[in-house]
């Protein structure tokens, strides 16, 4: 049986042109991360909620520093230029109307404050959502950035045509937006080189038309092309953080599956296009509840549609995000605790342990299992016939059992091994028959 498994992983590991980045924590192929202010439940209501389910965690509240999940909102990293909801410019409003030098000087201090350790080895997520770096993607409420950019040019150049105003405004906005985002990433990766840096919601598939009659979740072709044009952003990042915020109106629907599946696939596609010797790790942001009703928590099926789908497709992990609404009352805190101690906790334990077992069997712990057919309904779940998930009193879970021969065959048939950076499989036929382990190759960490 081991020879059979080795045959599968040896031949398929080598079919990928690039390897996966090494896991952030040990040999955990699918990382569970927490990024919500649950500490407020203890402070306000003396309700203690265990986060031991998660490999890493961090509260988004500004009072916390030195966390291994650190999110930088617009007011926490340098002088990010934007217009507030009243249309008032903050820090110049536009990237081309703000000092990049002053921004980076302030950002350096902010990084030192929120991430004091130079040996930081967590997730550093920049959440800048007021504008997008591509002119054509600033629509609806973001259209103000096109309007104000054009006004800035019209005021500076009196003898130019409207077309010239638009062209110049377009060029200057995109140039400055790129400099702000790329410069901030460069600063982060230079000052905290072992952290994984990226922007929240990037990449975005823009497949939001879930109400369409023929919706299948595919990223619009134009949006995929625009994502390709953001090569400079992916090449400057050390992780990607797409987001899956599904709607209660489509609870348990195939639409939620299609929405999530295509967003993760788009991130994985772009992760392989950089000039790095490995694919950027994708950490998928998700929520406890639905986008249109935050305190209505995800059903078992929608947990599979989001977290389960991410694991099966080859994401490096997921991050559960939440705001202060989760902790705004004793009732809400109790509801969150119950969800973590039952449905969510059981599912996280299930999928993370199943990902480890598959990695152990197909990759000998040196790679991540990836679904052979991205659209197939195959998931990294523990077999009920072989395993039991036991609930502990402290909010944690214990898995008992071991894989059967049938499970090994099933994994080999439905999943393939994608090696981590620095590992490859020897394709020598004799080595295959002898069940030779993956061999270490020279590697470098960015």
Answer yes or no: are the C-beta atoms of 264 and 309 closer than 8 Å: yes
Written as one string, the DSSP assignment of 65-77 is -S-SEEEE-TTSS
Answer yes or no: are the C-beta atoms of 413 and 396 closer than 8 Å: no
| Centroid of chain to Cα 291 | 17
Q: Tokens 């340098």 sit at which residue?
A: 78
Written as one string, the DSSP assignment of 184-233 is HHHHHHHHSTTSEEEEBTBS------TTSTT---PPPHHHHHHHHHTHHH
Cα–Cα distance, 275 to 168 (Å, whole number): 30
**Of the listed 85, 101, 118, 129, which one is catalytic?**
129
Answer yes or no: are the C-beta atoms of 177 and 185 closer than 8 Å: no
Cα–Cα distance, 304 to 336 (Å, whole number): 19
Q: Is there a cis peptide before residue 203, judged by omega within 30 degrees of 0?
A: yes
Cα–Cα distance, 416 to 370 (Å, whole number): 5
Q: Tokens 């030192």 sit at which residue?
A: 112
Cα–Cα distance, 261 to 210 (Å, whole number): 13
129 catalytic, yes or no? Answer: yes
Structure tokens that stand for 390 in this block: 């036991």
Task: Please state the φ and ψ torsions of residue 280, each to the nearest 5 degrees.
Answer: -60, 140
| Residues designated as active site | 129
């Amino acid at each position: 049986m081991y020879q059979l498994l080795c045959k599968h992983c040896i031949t398929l590991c080598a079919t990928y042109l690039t390897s996966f980045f090494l896991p952030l924590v040990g040999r955990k192929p699918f990382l569970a991360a927490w990024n919500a202010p649950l500490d407020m439940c203890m402070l306000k209501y003396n309700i203690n909620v265990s986060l031991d389910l998660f490999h890493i965690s961090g509260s988004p509240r500004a009072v916390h520093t030195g966390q291994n999940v650190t999110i930088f909102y617009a007011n926490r990293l340098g002088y990010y230029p934007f217009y507030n909801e009243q249309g008032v410019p903050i820090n110049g409003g536009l990237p081309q109307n703000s000092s990049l030098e002053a921004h980076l000087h302030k950002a350096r201090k902010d990084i030192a404050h929120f991430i004091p350790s130079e040996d930081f080895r967590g997730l550093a997520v920049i959440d800048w959502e007021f504008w997008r770096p591509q002119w054509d993607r600033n629509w609806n409420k973001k259209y103000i950035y096109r309007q104000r950019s054009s006004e800035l040019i019209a005021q500076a150049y009196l003898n130019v045509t409207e077309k010239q105003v638009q062209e110049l405004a377009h060029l200057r906005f995109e140039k400055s937006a790129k400099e702000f985002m790329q410069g901030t990433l460069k600063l982060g990766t230079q000052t905290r080189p072992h952290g994984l840096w990226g922007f929240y919601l990037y990449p975005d598939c823009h497949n939001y038309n879930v109400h369409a009659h023929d919706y299948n979740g595919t990223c619009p072709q134009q949006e995929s092309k625009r994502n390709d044009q953001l090569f400079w952003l992916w090449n400057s990042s050390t992780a990607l953080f797409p987001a899956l915020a599904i709607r209660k109106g489509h609870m348990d629907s195939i639409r939620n599956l299609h929405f999530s599946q295509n967003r993760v696939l788009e991130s994985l596609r772009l992760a392989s296009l950089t000039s790095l010797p490995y694919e950027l790790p994708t950490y998928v942001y998700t929520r406890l509840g639905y986008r249109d009703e935050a305190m209505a928590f995800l059903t078992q099926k929608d947990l599979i549609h989001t977290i389960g789908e991410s694991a099966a497709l080859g994401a490096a992990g997921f991050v559960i995000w939440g705001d202060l609404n989760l902790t705004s009352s004793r009732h809400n805190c109790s509801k969150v605790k119950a969800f973590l101690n039952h449905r969510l906790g059981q599912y996280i334990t299930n999928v993370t342990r199943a990902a480890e077992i598959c990695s152990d069997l197909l990759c000998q712990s040196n790679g991540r299992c990836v679904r052979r057919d991205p659209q197939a309904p195959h998931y990294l779940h523990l077999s009920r016939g072989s395993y039991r998930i036991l609930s502990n009193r402290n909010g944690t879970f214990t898995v008992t059992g071991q894989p059967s021969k049938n499970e090994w065959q099933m994994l080999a048939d439905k999943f393939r091994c994608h090696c981590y950076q620095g590992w490859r499989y020897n394709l020598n036929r004799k080595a295959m028959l002898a069940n030779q382990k993956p061999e270490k190759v020279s590697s470098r960490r960015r």
